[in-house]
Structure 1
Amino acid sequence: MDRSKLPLHPDDIELSAGDGFRARDKVESLLERAGIVLNGNQPWDIQVLDPRAYSRILSQGSLGLGEAYMDGWWECEQLDEFIHRALRADLEAQIRVGWYDAWQLLRGLLANLQSKARAFMVGEQHYDLGNQLYQCMLDSRMTYTCGYWRNAADLEQAQASKLDLVCRKIGLQPGDRVLDIGCGWGSFAEFAARNYSAEVVGITISREQAELARVRCSGLPVEIRLQDYRDLHESFDHIVSLGMFEHVGWKNYRTYMQVVQRCLRDKGLFLLHSIGANQSGLHTDTWIDRHIFPNGGLPSIAQIGKAIEPDWVMEDWHNFGADYDLTLMAWYANFEQHWGELAAHYDQRFYRMWRYYLLTCAGAFRARDIQLWQIVLSKGGVADGYRSLR
């Protein structure tokens, strides 16, 4: 989007002394409700370095807060805890909706932001940032979804536990043909093929993911495709989708479920692993949309429920959203540890953007503002009942 068309571009903000003081007082008062002290000495207190930040935050909300951080207008030692406290105190509700938020809502109503013509945008902007970045940040399998930490001591164990949990939840057997919608760099496909002797077809909208996944799964009964889910017309014993549904969009939830319905054999199971919202919405956080995941959206329970009626039986609904806090903090630790070698490829503004992304998302899961669901669905119901696994 042309930045000149956006309201309150930082270079265009001019405040009188009175306006500046009022904006500062308003921000200070809001932060106090969350136990955050403006320019305080606790690690979750923010240090404002440019007074224009106050008006930018008040007028642009989430977008202004994040972009002001990227521009170095404010600092915070413990961003994750700052966001955790701000969300628990519901500070965002106290800031009026800005122009960009209203525009995002209107776009979500009028347009299908996740149409087939736009489907590959998130792959190009986010997942094709460079495999080195993700190799440095993720576990050895490059699993870019929430780990399962119940009996795990570190990220590697948490991701292995999650992949195994998925296989056990769908009752995976040797020789089963499995579809992985949004296969990433092939972590599930490789795990299922190696450990359960399954045949896997993985699809992704990222060229870099597809290339690396093919290398990772070389010699295994795995096929990796660069393909939109809407183009699938074949049968599978089971279907999984790990961390892809967030890119489907509310206008396509029903279509997505119909595609899975036509591709899943009658006695098969479908496991949906997705971040979820506590409230139904038509667009995602405005800063996340612009800088991290374009055209994304988090489904609610109501939206998923409507999409699966009347074709599916919901066999199990498992929420382990608190584990995403641990996962994101582990990713951040890896990112920081390897920044020295990444700095040759990414500038300082990217560093601040990525740090903000990982830590604020960790804070949001810690605040239970967003969730992580694994949902098991069947066609007509499991005959003798489904046994939930944890």
Structure 2
Amino acid sequence: MQEEETLAIAPAGARAPDDSPAVLRELAAQAGITINGDAPWDIQVRDPRLYHRILTKGSLGFGEAYVDGMWECDRLDQLFDRLLRIDADEKLGSWARVRLFGEVLRHSLFNLQSDRRAFQVAEQHYDIGNDVFVAMLDPTMSYSCAYWDGAADLVEAQQKKLDMICRKLELKRGEVLLEIGCGWGGLARFAAERYGVEVVGITVSKEQQALARERCKGLPVAIELMDYRELSRKFDKIVSVGMFEHVGPKNYRTYFDIAHRALKNDGLFLLHTIGSAVTVAKTDPWIDQYIFPNGKLPSAREIAAAVEGRFLIEDWHNFGADYDRTLMAWWEKFDAAWPELEARYGTRFYRMWKYYLLSCAGFFRSRQGQLWQVVLSKPQRASTYRSVR
């Protein structure tokens, strides 16, 4: 995605004639979408080559065509909510289904989240530049779903999420907390300051490590650049927020084996992860190629199967609807900050990031996307766990 590539196939406001294939018109109609219609969720076609891209490349071509300026939509979040509710990508023609089958094979035959690939997502996504995330996120730089129950804004919602995690873990002063995938250190700092614990955070992102260390300076917090498979010591409590999506089904049992070895017998492990409403054998190809390479969302069945024989499930909390609201808040902040970011990142990045945030908002609004906090313990734990919210 080079900045010198051409954008805006047609002048702003112009519409290409609706000569879309019947299969695409029918598919759009099923979702209540009109090509070149007047509703905010309707697609405005700027270049008729869009149709060939969709038919041959499915959702990957759809996203690439948006970044290329081939189509517009006033409300991408509403568009994707409608498309996902009818499983539009699954209903495309035979060429697109061949590509979907290829995605299934890729995830089935290869370990896309092996230790050799562990740092790829950081290099492509988390290390793009801390300025984007500083502009988009709340002051704790929490890049995960906020908890909006009773919250007035994103700042309060993320604070409530962090505090809920600490309470669910029953953190006590003097304990040592392991955070697998520590981001920019928001939770580590919060837990050390508010609950008096020592924190060891690990990340595969050099940019995250550098900023997290700066933000946690003077606190009993260590931020290490390492893959979870390198862990060897024991901890009182373990937490992982927004990292399990990068583990992959072929590594689920390894992941929980390592967490089991790292957790003391009377400890607790809180897993915070996006989940898929159903078990699927692939990931969205556009998200995989341009946002989170090698990612894969787990289903409840996959988590339960991998946990069995290793941990007991003490609590399973679903607040997936809150991710829709979180993503919309991120988009508003990113859009407002764009004038300061534009010179460094350019128009194509803006369109890519807009597509990413708003299509994900539609994903959670459609209920295909879920957000789970699962509290796990070892069978050896003696005390009774009481769920908190």
TM over 0.5: yes
Match of 2:145 in 1: 146
TM-score normalised per structure 2: 0.93
Match of 2:67 among 65, 70, 76: 70
Match of 1:203 in 2: 202
Match of 1:88 in 2: 85
**Distance in structure 2 (CA, Å) of the matches to 1:163 and 1:379:** 23
Pairwise mapping of residues 5-20 of structure 1 onto structure 2 (< 5 A)? none
* Cα separation, partners in 2 of 1:73 and 1:381, compared to 1, 3 Å: farther
The structure 1 segments of at least 4 consecutive aligned residues displaced by more than 4 Å after TM superposition are 20-23
Match of 2:13 in 1: none
Match of 2:186 in 1: 187
**Distance in structure 2 (CA, Å) of the matches to 1:339 and 1:54:** 30
**SS of the residue 2:194 aligns to:** helix
Shift of 1:192: 0.1
Q: Could you tell me whether the CA contact under 8 Å between 2:90 and 2:97 is conserved in 1? A: no
Greater displacement, 214-223 / 60-69: 60-69
**SS of the residue 2:370 aligns to:** strand
Q: Deviations over 1:18-71 (max 9, x none)?
A: xx9874332121111111111111111110111111121122111011111111
Q: Where do 5+ consecutive residues of structure 1 fail to align?
A: 2-19
* Cα separation, partners in 2 of 1:123 and 1:383, compared to 1, 3 Å: same
**Distance in structure 1 (CA, Å) of the matches to 2:378 and 2:28:** 49
Match of 1:26 in 2: 23
Match of 2:50 in 1: 53
**Distance in structure 1 (CA, Å) of the matches to 2:201 and 2:282:** 27
Shift of 1:98: 4.1
Match of 1:338 in 2: 337
Structure 1 residue identity aligned to 2:366: A
Match of 1:112 in 2: 111
**Distance in structure 1 (CA, Å) of the matches to 2:108 and 2:283:** 13
**SS of the residue 1:267 aligns to:** strand
Q: Could you tell me whether the CA contact under 8 Å between 1:321 and 1:372 is conserved in 2? A: yes
Q: Could you tell me whether the CA contact under 8 Å between 1:56 and 1:68 is conserved in 2? A: yes
Greater displacement, 303-312 / 239-248: 303-312
**Distance in structure 2 (CA, Å) of the matches to 1:107 and 1:67:** 20
Q: Is 1:363 equivalent to 2:362 in the alignment?
A: yes
Shift of 1:175: 0.8
Shift of 1:90: 2.6
**Distance in structure 2 (CA, Å) of the matches to 1:384 and 1:238:** 15
Aligned length: 372
* Cα separation, partners in 2 of 1:283 and 1:89, compared to 1, 3 Å: closer
Greater displacement, 53-62 / 90-99: 90-99
**SS of the residue 1:346 aligns to:** helix
Match of 1:253 in 2: 252
Shift of 1:168: 0.3
Q: Deviations over 1:97-133 (max 9, x none)?
A: 4444333222211211111111000000000000000
Structure 1 residue identity aligned to 2:71: W
Match of 2:275 in 1: 276
Q: Deviations over 1:214-262 (max 9, x none)?
A: 0000000000000000000001000000000000011000000000000
**SS of the residue 1:316 aligns to:** strand
**SS of the residue 1:148 aligns to:** coil
Q: Could you tell me whether the CA contact under 8 Å between 2:265 and 2:380 is conserved in 1? A: no
Q: Deviations over 1:200-226 (max 9, x none)?
A: 000000000000000000000000000
Determine what percentage of the aligned residue pairs are the same residue. Answer: 56
Q: Could you tell me whether the CA contact under 8 Å between 2:126 and 2:208 is conserved in 1? A: yes
**Distance in structure 2 (CA, Å) of the matches to 1:158 and 1:150:** 7
Q: Is 1:122 equivalent to 2:160 in the alignment?
A: no
Structure 1 residue identity aligned to 2:151: A
Q: Deviations over 1:281-333 (max 9, x none)?
A: 23311100000000000001111111111121000000000000000000000
Pairwise mapping of residues 341-356 of structure 1 onto structure 2 (< 5 A)? 341-356=340-355
Structure 2 residue identity aligned to 1:271: L
Q: Is 1:228 equivalent to 2:227 in the alignment?
A: yes
